[in-house]
Amino acid sequence: MNPIDHAFIALLRPFGGTEGLAHTSRLSVLACVIGLLILAFVFRRNGNKLKCLDMDGVPMKELGISSTSKTAMLFQPPLISKHGEKLAHDEPYIIRSGKHREVVLHTAEHVREFLRNDAKADRLLGQCVGALNGKKWRVVRSYFDPAYSHNASLVILPSFQNEVVKWLNTLKNDSLRTGVGRLVVHAPTSCKILPLRVIPQSFYGEAYDDDAYTKLVRVSQIQGQALKYAVTGRWQKYRWFNMLPTPSRRQLDRYHQDWQAFNLEMLETARKKGLAIPAENVFKGVQPDDAMSMDQYLQTIDEMIFTNIDITASVLAFMLSKLTKHPDFQQKLYEEIVAQKAEEGFNLNNYITRQTTLLHYLCLESVRLRPATWFSVPECTTIDKVIGRYKIPAQTPIIIDVRRLNTNALTWGPDGAEFRPERFASLSPNEYRYGYMRFGVVSGKCLGKHMAVVLMKVAIITVLERYKIEEVEMNIGVKDGDLAFIKRK
């Protein structure tokens, strides 16, 4: 998630005890509003007065984000990254939005210094696991982690395979422009369907049937609408505003109610049918002693499902489109799959787990060039440090420009921006330890990293076994992102 996503997540949080606000008297609402306005004014005055000087006392360069460029940061973060590059070249710089400032790092050297001797790091916002830190984070993760271990991902591999086959059949039925042995698939749209089927299934197990899928799609639309208010609304960034009985507040309340109802219904269905589902084990953490709060439970599932469906879908679509642009690599990968399957005693788990295959290199290269987010979640340093010759005081919020880190020529060579999966055959992971952000900085905090890899690999194997993927010539009715799936003989 990026820092902006976190701001949205914060906006989507329920505000305990305010649900009845719409029903309170006008006078008390007015008193509340006045009080909140005063508080908002006081808080607005406290931006962070970040100053980073180099050894000669020269301040770090600052990139100011106006409201226009804020929209660019949301919808075209690489553009902001390019502005930063133009401004500060190889040096770190400060990004300023209103009164808030964050230091942007973008080389392996910067990241190494950032992590050196640092008990890292304070997260800044929210209740979902991606926005927590310290003990709270460990508690929430201790309940979710077992459902997403490497082994757990391999256990659900057969059901992933079934879902991928079903997905391909749906594409066949849905595609309006099929020819003999040929499907035209709009990859960005079609790739969203698969994770929406598979990721929730990994959590709700067999309770997630067609009916639940339809309900989840409906909740996701309400969530999308609430998110839209948060993104485009002028006042929604102020916490006090979100406590007022506005249409956007009502939309948020509706989302929170529906999301909670959906999740409780999944648990109820599983209990009634006697199904052992991962959600039930995780829910044991929601105890009266508040080991994990209901908000943390619901928001972590929200992050897992809604945010990560989009991420996984866009990586999958990127992979497919790169395979069409690199037919030689596609052919070699296809041959690898056929050869693996022809081996005596072939075991799909082993092939999926191996890290020296073209299939694995494809996954590494795709996330390198199409990362989950273009800027990392802000984290604060806990001690003073020197990064790229600048003195960075403790408690400085830091974000990483993932686009630049993942393509930096010092780590990746002069063709760092190009798609060449085989580069990983001659690189040891130590060589890109600090220069590659895939599932998080260095260690990879992503809860779904094992599952995401299994899903991507199963999808690619299943598609390539059946189809050769080609570009579609631009013509009337052909959209950007359309790909031709040609049936193999």
Residues that bind ligand HEM (CB under 6 A): 129-130, 141, 148, 199, 300, 303-304, 308, 311-312, 315, 367, 372, 377, 439-441, 445-448, 451-452
Q: How far apart are CA 5 and CA 9, in angstroms?
A: 6
- Cβ neighbors of 408 (< 8 A, separation 6 or more) are 106, 107, 108, 416, 435
Q: How many CB atoms lie under 10 A from the CB of residue 2?
A: 20
Q: How many CB atoms lie under 10 A from the CB of residue 172?
A: 13
Q: What is the nearest approach in angstroms of ligand HEM to the Cβ of residue 133?
A: 9
Q: What is the nearest approach in angstroms of ligand HEM to the Cβ of residue 148?
A: 6
Of residues 14 and 126, the one with the C-beta less far from ligand HEM = 126
Q: What is the nearest approach in angstroms of ligand HEM to the Cβ of residue 103?
A: 17
Characterize the bridge pairing of strands 390-392 and 385-387: antiparallel
Characterize the bridge pairing of strands 62-65 and 93-97: parallel
- Where are the extended beta strands (E) located within 164-231? 182-186
- Cβ neighbors of 134 (< 8 A, separation 6 or more) are none
Of residues 248 and 307, the one with the C-beta less far from ligand HEM = 307
Of residues 228 and 445, the one with the C-beta less far from ligand HEM = 445
Of residues 107 and 308, the one with the C-beta less far from ligand HEM = 308
Q: How far apart are CA 305 and CA 278, in angstroms?
A: 14
Of residues 10 and 367, the one with the C-beta less far from ligand HEM = 367
Q: What is the nearest approach in angstroms of ligand HEM to the Cβ of residue 341?
A: 24
Residue 219, CB-side half-sphere exposure with 13 Å CA sphere: 23
Q: What is the nearest approach in angstroms of ligand HEM to the Cβ of residue 254?
A: 24
Q: What is the nearest approach in angstroms of ligand HEM to the Cβ of residue 451?
A: 5
Of residues 452 and 464, the one with the C-beta less far from ligand HEM = 452
Residue of closest CB approach to ligand HEM: 448
Q: What is the nearest approach in angstroms of ligand HEM to the Cβ of residue 374?
A: 11
Report whether 387 contacts 92 (CB < 8 A).
Answer: yes
Of residues 312 and 408, the one with the C-beta less far from ligand HEM = 312
Q: How far apart are CA 117 and CA 190, in angstroms?
A: 44
Place of tokens 């359309």: 482
